[in-house]
Structure 1
């Protein structure tokens, strides 16, 4: 039998040591041990009580983030963790009590104060009735706030666990759905009860920021329960309150003097808004009124939030930025009436009406960023840098994202005018993407120009080859990015059918392709076949550029986007390519002559003289292996042949005395006439004597006698 079924394993039947051991084990298995250190069993002194932070909405958000809630098992583990914390907190604060189902709550054994006994209900829904702290208890120890908020969070976790199980199953049982609604209602009850305590009395000692957290959390739980019950009218009101409260909390933590913890908490609020609150608010609002599709989220929240709701007052007290607070509470920003100023857009003879306030506001914001960019570009005193394009790029990127989200929402909706609305949105999307990519190309072109200037300056100063090679690689990468951006413009809807724009983009591709070939050629060895081939390809691309097409019938002078996109200096590029190609061909010709000289010298090795006899003749390349031609320097000078060692050794064994005696009786003239016959005879006699001596003297050995 498991622990729950065994009566001896229940908390009331265990001794204190076993109970403390169980709580300790549960605490070690908790999801976030750092935030659990506040709930310790030993009593705290006054200073520790003042320093111990209460469990509020920001603490619960950190708990959720640390728990990585995705599956039903994650929610179950999170609920068990909350149960352990809640039980230990009740034990620490001495408010833990047991109520039997048959016992009258008024006669129940209560171990708390008299105020606790007065808060007992007539029909307890569980064997542990939630302790409702009084303002005096909250003022004494802020940890009492965790009694209701932890119970609310645990009920929400149980509901999400059951809901996750329902999503994974093929069929949904009505009992499970009823269980989800009951858990969410219980969570709403606990949170709203605690919010009422804080709002009704100022003795609790909680700040306005803490009260806004509790009100927002209570509204969020109420909205989740109403949405699950398909009560869209209640859900949209509660989501509007939660949206306003969370935005106010994020604004209160933003600012130049904000700490890292404040920034992290503000990010948690924004993530919750983006992932849960805003999509749910839009969905509930569309179910109530389909015409709200084109309204901004802030306008929808302002429309449904009650005027006398306490969240409005709390946001005004907490938030620091007065302008953003006014925009939040009134539902109108600086671009809220954007539809009145920008009701339609025209792009390349295509006109589309703007029906969505969000899209119109994004386009107005992007045009405002363009005004700042145009002023920067027109200012001749300051040098334009690449970061000057960042505000415009970010604004147009936000516009593109807003349009894409609107297209997705329009495709998922039903209606008679959906197709017409989607077609207009595609035109607006092409317009925004065209402007975004044009500014990106202009920024990359500016970066490439600065790199080319740096390379030219480095060449004059004699910069290292390594730094020049790295700059050339970066320059080639920038031109690759520009060509990819141009390809993205070509792929936009409606561009292929626009012949003037297509021709202009084709010429622009050739312009930047020629620049890329020139940068690639500069990185290669001058005069090499690859170098000359790159320059020739660049020359071919430059000759195919149509400068009239790049003008777009004068549109580049009147439209800022066209001026930024088709800003091309074709004559300068043509001059650069011509000079580079001429220099490469000269280097190639010089290398070819040198190679021919090498081949000629190799073919006529040993025959060509070193000294040039004709002053008009061009000297021939000489290699080191032609030193053998020294014998041909002059006819009178001849090298002395080498005498082998064998002849020196054999000289000692030739019988010159006998040959001198026989030759002395013969006149010199007769000896000269005999010729080679006498010498041959003498050599034959010596050979016979040597043979006889070698036969007789067998004991003689050595390297010479063995040959």
Structure 2
């Protein structure tokens, strides 16, 4: 059989149904399809006399469904036709309520009829091997039952039916990894625009329902069994989507961040935070790879909190708004420090190799650490905490100093001692250490006052070593400056090729050329052959031709 949700609610979503006429047109389309299926399956009853006894649609058996899935499809479309009729009536009531009594009765009748057809479909698909098809049929039935209960103002039944639909939709949504698929879009659309508002409405009408998030609410009330025909779907989905956390675990519903206490209103969020923070083993990790799953857990908690905050963004209770803001800072604070600890372990692992080629990676990681500290300073509430903000400022300076020391060591390794000394001096002057360099402690002890003091002592030793190396290099250059080159195959880096301290003109005399000329032997010219004397007639003729050629200038004589 086709997907129950795509055939019904998916078709509604694609058709953009808003007005009563829109629902009527869609109902007409569905009705035409039902007529075609009846003809194809030979279910048309031409003799309408005593129709109830002769009609065949309600007498379809599971064996017929197993042979041809279209028998199930026709029951689904009959239910959808009645629901579209009910939606059409509801759209009319929203505009004009003059005939509200008769229209409301018709509305309930159509929904009840739709539920009857869905119950028949559940019986037909009892032997269906594809669990996804069965789950979708149950979801559709739960939505019909929930809407009917809301119309009848049976709020507890509505809460049970809609809770079953929400748990089942959450399960289907989690099974589809493709975020762009139509099924996932449909599930999200149903949750946001149909299920969650209905669940909120039903919960608000009951006095004994605790104020909590909708996911926790649905998991708590999906087991009430107000609709025995629909409840079996809970056995088809993963138990983690129906487990009521608050009934099995005593939850810590508050967090404390820097003296600010915030209440957690989402039980699932409280459970995940409690599960992560109660495990103290990860605080002793000394391998960067071990922190990957911890970071992933904090990111998952942060995403869940963002989703919960977005759903409750219209909440007018300022206390809840403030609690969610404190909780957001608490989660981000722990997430960023966990990332920072992992990066510091990466630096330690690279530094242990003692390979200068790794310095580029170490510098890159330190840049990321400094960025994390800046993100910590930007968290809400940090700026108003003077001690914390002061300590984070110094923490950023400390990591900046460590990064610059790595750069200086790279210069020192390449025998560029003057540059190395300059960097060491700069870092030593910028890093001003005191006994209260940090006024607060940090998670994981990422840095302490003792560590900073030790680093300062180590830095001063580095400065002294760089001074000695730079002085030695300067003396070496002075000793070698008299010569341009000592070995044609070796050339010292950094030495002056030519000493151009003073340029003076060279004294010379003009007679030097004359003296040199006396030592030049003139070349012996070869004998020239004696040429015959040219007759005067030829000369005269040549001169006449020349005058003729340039006669325009000189003229003829």
2:1 paired with 1:118: no
Residues 164 and 234, structure 2, Cα contact 8 Å, conserved in 1: no
User: 436, 458, 465: which one pairs with 1:575?
Assistant: 458
Alignment of structure 1 residues 155-194 onto 2, 5 Å: 173-174=95-96, 192-194=115-117
Pick from 72, 89, 92: which aligns with 2:40?
92
Deviation at 1:144, TM superposition (A): 1.0
1:432 counterpart residue number: 331
State the match for 1:538 in structure 2: 427
CA distance in 1, matches of 2:86, 2:409: 67
| Aligned partner (choices 397, 400, 404) of residue 513 of structure 1 | 400
Q: Which moves more between the two structures, 145-154 or 580-589?
A: 580-589
Q: Are the equivalent residues in 2 in contact too, given 1:282–1:297 (CA < 8 A)?
A: no
CA distance in 2, matches of 1:142, 1:224: 27
Instruction: Work out whether residues 278 and 297 of structure 1, in 8 Å CA contact, stay in contact via their aligned partners in 2.
Output: no
Offset at residue 436 of structure 1 (A): 1.9
Q: Say whether residues 1:55 and 2:32 are aligned partners.
A: no
In structure 1, the partner of 2:438 is 550
Q: How do 1:259-274 residues align onto structure 2 when only pairs under 5 Å count?
A: 271=188
TM-superposed deviation, 1:440: 1.7
2:200 equivalent to 1:283: yes
Larger radius of gyration: 1
Contact 1:79–1:157, Cα closer than 8 Å, also in 2: yes
**1:332 corresponding residue in structure 2:** 245
Higher relative contact order (CA 8 A, sep 6+): 2
Q: Is the 8 A contact 2:168 2:234 kept in 1?
A: no
- Aligned mate of 2:445, from 542, 556, 563: 563
Query: For residues 667-695 of structure 1, what are the alpha-carbon distances to aligned partners after superposition, in whole Å with 9 as ceiling and x for unaligned?
Result: xxxxxxxxxxxxxxxxxxxxxxxxxxxxx
Partner residue, 2:299: 397
Q: CA deviation at 1:147?
A: 1.1
Aligned-pair distance for 1:509? 0.5
Secondary structure of 1:351 counterpart = strand
Which residue of 258, 261, 272 maps to 1:351? 261
Equivalent residue runs for 1:63-212 within 5 Å: 89-95=37-43, 105-106=48-49, 117-118=54-55, 133-152=60-79, 173-174=95-96, 192-198=115-121, 205-206=127-128, 209=131, 210-212=133-135
Secondary structure of the 1:648 match is coil
**Alignment TM-score, normalising by the size of structure 2:** 0.66
Q: Give the drift of 1:447.
A: 2.2
User: SS at 1:346's partner residue?
Assistant: strand
Contact 1:188 1:218 in 2 (8 A): no
Alpha-carbon distance change, 509 to 311 in structure 1, aligned in 2, over 3 angstroms: farther
8 Å CA contact 1:476, 1:516 repeated in 2:
yes
Which residue matches 2:503? Answer: none
Q: Write out per-residue CA displacement over residues 477-507 of structure 1, whole angstroms, 9 at most, x where no aligned residue.
A: 4323322222222223332232322222111
Q: Deviations over 1:14-45 (max 9, x none)?
A: xxxxxxxxxxxxxxxxxxxxxxxxxxxxxxxx
Q: Residue 453 of structure 1 aligns with which residue?
A: 352
Of residues 485, 502, 511, the one that matches 2:389 is 502
In structure 2, what is the equivalent of residue 21 of structure 1?
none
Query: Corresponding residue for 2:523?
Result: 648
CA distance in 2: counterparts of 1:270 and 1:199, whole angstroms: 20
Structure 2: runs of 5+ lacking an equivalent: 488-494, 500-515, 529-538, 543-557
Q: 2:271 aligns with which of 350, 361, 370?
A: 361
The TM-score, its normalising length taken from structure 1, stands at 0.54
CA shift for structure 1 position 336: 4.5
Map Cα deviations across residues 56-78 of structure 1 (whole Å, 9 max, x no partner).
Answer: 4366499669x8777879x9999
**Taking structure 1 as reference, are residues 481 and 546 closer, same or farther at Cα in structure 2, changes over 3 Å only?**
farther
Q: What's the secondary structure of 1:444's corresponding residue? A: helix
Q: Distance in 1 between matches of 2:65 and 2:85?
A: 27
Give 1:511 shift: 1.3
| C-alpha deviation, 1:214, in angstroms | 1.7
Q: Residues 354 and 201 from structure 1, CA distance in 2 versus in 1: closer, same or farther, beyond 3 angstroms?
A: closer
* Cα contact 1:536–1:581 (8 A) shared by 2: no
What's the counterpart of residue 373 of structure 1?
282
TM-superposed deviation, 1:373: 0.9
- Following superposition, the deviation at residue 220 of structure 1 comes to 1.9
Cα 1:135–1:509 change in 2 (3 A) is same
Q: Hey, what does 2:340 align to over in structure 1?
A: 441
Give the Cα–Cα distance (whole angstroms) in 1 for the partners of residues 264 and 404 of structure 2. 43
Aligned to 1:40: none
Q: Distance in 1 between matches of 2:349 and 2:169?
A: 46
Aligned residues of 1:362 and 1:402 also touching (Cα < 8 A):
no
Q: Say whether the 8 Å CA contact 1:296–1:358 is kept in structure 2.
A: no
CA deviation map 1:76-128 (0-9, x unaligned) = 99989977865654443233678xxxxx84378xxxxx98x335xxxxxxxxx
Q: How far is the alpha carbon of 1:55 from its aligned partner?
A: 2.3
